[in-house]
Structure 1
Amino acid sequence: MRSVMLHIHFFVYASMLSASMLCACAKDNEANPDRPDGGADRYVVFFLTNTDVEQADGENTGRDANTAYTFVGELPHLFGDIRPGAEYKYAFGLPGPMLLTQSVAEMQYQVNKAFDIAEKYGVPVYFQLDDINNYTKEFGSGANPKFFEHPEWCEWVSFPKPGEQWGGQSNGRLPYYWFNWGNWMHADHFPNLASPDFQAFVKEQLTQGVLSVLVSRYEALKAVGKDYLFAGMAIGWETHIPDYSADNTIYNIQPDDLPVNQLLGDRMEPWEAGKLGYGALHTLGYTTYDKERLYRVIHDYSEFLAKVVYDAGIPREKIFTHIVGIKSSHPELSTTFAPPIWVAVNDYSIPGFSMSPVSCPYDLGTLKAEIAKADPTQTRFGNVEGYSIGVDGSQEQADAYFRDMFGNGASVVAVFGWGREPATSAFAVSHSPASPFVQAAKKWLKAP
């Protein structure tokens, strides 16, 4: 089970879509007075895929890793000590806290422990909050209440028919949340992002479980000039609304060949093979399906989360929304599975995207143009889920990747696959000092 957790590879893209290289865009919202150029810090985030906070400082099973060090302890060994005044820094990234599955205590422990590790090694920490993809209880299962036990907090496949309290009730259950990372699986259900009660639950989880600790730790770091040890946080994780209809040409689900869950062996029901979003539309008073309104639901939910974090005292430059960026390279897509670029743009965060030439193709010019349409003042972006695959064939290729990202406004370039990614995975990143990707990263970090 662990081998498929917490890395949204979108393997399916690689077989269906041609790679499109290099994109980005974003904005300096707060200056760093300690650096002569006055700009905001930029980070290469080595993301510890499949890795919990204890494992981050307890083992090192990465590809070609030096096991004399832990995952986090190896980073200074490879890249040297962080220089507080440097524009480019590295960080370690962690999956979670998981707002939908972890208890408040579990989340508070993770945040505190992560900052302890950051201070121990002098390595900044970055969090990837998962409020959408509720597919795992790997990092804790104590959330209360359980959102998926409340039909009005979940997504439906239709509007309620006469005699139904919620849409699709006559089917006998809510639709599962099906996803494909090379093989099909499903979680319980998918949340209704427009539900006031669901939003209240998520806000409480975020405020009490994450921000109650994160803000105090961040303020303490600021007081001693070490605020750079908090690299930032992505809110959401590829925020979207599932779509299993013919509109979603990425999944390309066929009615006569419905997906089978590789873990449980059950098959998607025919009534599940359609659009979700009816729960949100019903909440908002709609009686017909409206894709454009659902795009706005995704935007408003992302903005809602970003504002909660921003209002707590975290600067905008350290808050990233997260959707897939594939619409920038495939404008013909018309599905809530891959929403338009503008839904990631709001006044409280930096727009962030999954972008990979292999697993989530993107187009730089289109991405920048779409962000500018939504907010002409926004000159920054985050590659909050990126991979080395496809850009690591040589040091020159990897260097060009970082140059295109940072040269066009990237505040963060995340490198998934650094942690407990199976060694056999094509997405595992080599830790070898001789790796072209590591060599290029060292150049940008000005490492010794």
Structure 2
Amino acid sequence: MVRKLTGLLMLAALALGAGGAAGAASTTPDDDTRYLVFMRQPEELIFQEYPHTIHPGVFRDIREEFENLPASDVRIGMAFVFSYLKTDLPTLKASLKRFLHFARETDTPVLVKFDGEQWWQERPDLWNWWDPDLPGYDPANRANVEWSSWDPDDALKIAWRNWGRQIRVLPPPNLFSREYRAACHEAMDELLPIVRQWWRALPAEQKDLFIGVNIGWESSIGINAYHYPDGNERVHQPAEHDPDHGIELSEVPDRGVAQIGYASVRSAGIRDRGDITEDDLYEVIRRHLRDLSHRVHRAGFPREKIFTHGVGNRRGEKLYEAALNEYACPGWSNYWNADDPAQNEGIMRSLKKSDAPYWGSVEWNLIGSRDGERWKRALEKSLFYPGCRFLCVYNWEHIDDSEAVMDAVRAVIRDHARDRNE
């Protein structure tokens, strides 16, 4: 898109979760504030593996576009993705600390996004089950990646992704592999205290710089890492010979390519035979996001500071509802109905079921449009839909050269100026 477990006790723990986190930091949210957040595109100017690329300038690029505007119920913020299985943890921690430090220095509200799904190059000890010439080789690692059947011999060696153009990627993780979940937990347990300590140290007048933690990244199976039939046979063939038709989102559950998800469904204890169903994949993602949300909650974050990142097709499939759990506020990508979230059947149905204080439009863009009036209308319809805490535009680098879009953002800020609304 434009983006095992060994033993029934552990399965039960992940499925049912644990109780609330003792001593979770509390906050009194300002219900009138909405955040209009811009994602900085990874590996454009900021590289998480190079901490020095995070500096005041990447914050000021955004802030300077919206200077000399009145205090408003709409605040401008910035987001960045920290993929914790892509870079060694000491380096990633250094990058995260710089990100937070300069957010405070530049007085920029930030959304901190953690990803353990889309990129995991740093952990061949988890995914390399097939190539003895690469680091981390261990045939047992087939348990940590997805399969295209119930047979471990059909563990994936390769997958494809299309976020504007098709690329080859590593096989997606078995989301309920014991080793994979442990890796996610260990990384989050290193990173979350950094965020919490920074937040708690902020002076009262800057507490609102912390928008929240966003976990998941269009969490799904077979959407952002899909597999073609006979895909493993293509590993050592030139990429130019790969099929390029991609997925058909409306074709649930296989998305019009090879069905995957067998490893996650089996490891989660859902089933180990028969045809995989939409409900099976929904349940895997629901448990996955619930587990991550609980991990953030137990690290001391209240529900209003935790947001999931769900996804679904334009038909409103059940997968949207996987973003709901008792520890987090739900969030979704919304490209299909970017002009008006009320037209997104999956988001609207899920919001009716949610008891969370907020929700987030966590990945959004009016793709292909630079019409300022359209942008203004669309931004307001999302930001001021009941309960919306923030809208995150993917990516700043895609729209920063459009004065019409910048003017639309300025108009939204002015129209919701606090002195005007009092």
Q: TM-score, normalised by structure 1?
A: 0.70
Of residues 38, 54, 57, the one that matches 2:55 is 57
In the other structure, the counterpart of 2:117 is: 132
Aligned counterparts of 2:53 and 2:224: Cα–Cα separation in 1: 36
In the other structure, the counterpart of 2:78 is: 92
3-state SS, counterpart of residue 353 of structure 1: strand
In the other structure, the counterpart of 1:318 is: 305
In the other structure, the counterpart of 2:389 is: 411
In the other structure, the counterpart of 2:28 is: 32
3-state SS, counterpart of residue 231 of structure 1: strand
Change (3 A) 1:439 1:261: farther
Residue by residue over 1:179-228, the C-alpha shift from the partner in whole angstroms, topping out at 9 and shown as x without a partner, is 113332121211011222211111001111x113111111111x544221
CA offset at residue 265 of structure 1? 3.0
In the other structure, the counterpart of 1:280 is: 264
Report matched runs for 1:427-438 at 5 Å. 427-430=398-401, 432=403, 435-438=406-409
In the other structure, the counterpart of 2:172 is: 190
CA offset at residue 263 of structure 1? 8.3
Q: Give the aligned residue type for 1:113.
A: R
Contact map agreement 1:124 1:230 (CA 8 A) in 2: yes
Contact map agreement 1:90 1:445 (CA 8 A) in 2: no
Of residues 86, 90, 96, the one that matches 1:111 is 96
Change (3 A) 1:373 1:413: closer
CA offset at residue 322 of structure 1? 0.7
Q: Give the aligned residue type for 2:64.
A: H
Report matched runs for 1:203-352 at 5 Å. 203-208=185-190, 210-221=191-202, 224-242=204-222, 264-265=239-240, 267=242, 273-283=257-267, 284=269, 285-291=271-277, 292-324=279-311, 326-327=312-313, 329-331=314-316, 340-352=319-331
CA offset at residue 390 of structure 1? 5.5
Aligned counterparts of 1:444 and 1:300: Cα–Cα separation in 2: 41
In the other structure, the counterpart of 2:34 is: 42
CA offset at residue 264 of structure 1? 3.8
Q: Give the aligned residue type for 1:238.
A: E
Q: Give the aligned residue type for 1:57.
A: H
Report matched runs for 1:123-162 at 5 Å. 123-134=108-119, 141=122, 143=123, 145-149=125-129, 150-160=141-151
CA offset at residue 133 of structure 1? 0.8
Change (3 A) 1:273 1:244: farther
Change (3 A) 1:369 1:354: closer
Which has the larger displacement, 384-393 or 277-286? Answer: 384-393
Change (3 A) 1:75 1:391: same
In the other structure, the counterpart of 1:24 is: none
In the other structure, the counterpart of 2:2 is: 9
Contact map agreement 1:147 1:198 (CA 8 A) in 2: no
Contact map agreement 1:382 1:412 (CA 8 A) in 2: yes
Identical pairs, percent:
21
> Which consecutive unaligned segments of at least 5 residues does structure 2 have?
4-24, 130-140, 245-255
Contact map agreement 2:361 2:391 (CA 8 A) in 1: yes
CA offset at residue 415 of structure 1? 1.2
Aligned counterparts of 1:354 and 1:54: Cα–Cα separation in 2: 30
The yes-or-no answer on 1:385 pairing with 2:363 is: yes
Aligned counterparts of 2:236 and 2:77: Cα–Cα separation in 1: 35
Residue by residue over 1:155-191, the C-alpha shift from the partner in whole angstroms, topping out at 9 and shown as x without a partner, is 000112xxxxx2416xxxx241211133321212110
Aligned counterparts of 1:370 and 1:437: Cα–Cα separation in 2: 29
Residue by residue over 1:66-87, the C-alpha shift from the partner in whole angstroms, topping out at 9 and shown as x without a partner, is xxxx33113332223899x954
3-state SS, counterpart of residue 101 of structure 1: coil
In the other structure, the counterpart of 2:411 is: 440
> Which consecutive unaligned segments of at least 5 residues does structure 1 have?
1-7, 11-28, 59-69, 161-165, 334-338, 420-426
Aligned counterparts of 1:390 and 1:431: Cα–Cα separation in 2: 12
Matched positions, count: 365
User: Which one has the bigger helix percentage?
Assistant: 2
Contact map agreement 2:309 2:323 (CA 8 A) in 1: yes
Change (3 A) 1:261 1:373: farther
Change (3 A) 1:113 1:445: farther
CA offset at residue 39 of structure 1? 1.7
CA offset at residue 152 of structure 1? 0.6
Change (3 A) 1:406 1:183: closer
3-state SS, counterpart of residue 116 of structure 1: helix
Q: Give the aligned residue type for 1:48.
A: R
CA offset at residue 404 of structure 1? 1.1
Aligned counterparts of 2:370 and 2:239: Cα–Cα separation in 1: 36
Contact map agreement 1:39 1:87 (CA 8 A) in 2: no
Residue by residue over 1:74-124, the C-alpha shift from the partner in whole angstroms, topping out at 9 and shown as x without a partner, is 3332223899x954311111121x122222212211210001111111112
In the other structure, the counterpart of 1:13 is: none
Aligned counterparts of 1:81 and 1:217: Cα–Cα separation in 2: 28
Aligned counterparts of 1:81 and 1:436: Cα–Cα separation in 2: 13
Aligned counterparts of 1:243 and 1:45: Cα–Cα separation in 2: 25
Change (3 A) 1:379 1:228: closer
Aligned counterparts of 1:190 and 1:220: Cα–Cα separation in 2: 37
Q: Give the aligned residue type for 1:440.
A: A
In the other structure, the counterpart of 1:336 is: none
Change (3 A) 1:55 1:364: farther
Q: Give the aligned residue type for 1:305.
A: L
In the other structure, the counterpart of 1:75 is: 62
Cα RMSD of the aligned pairs, angstroms, is 3.8
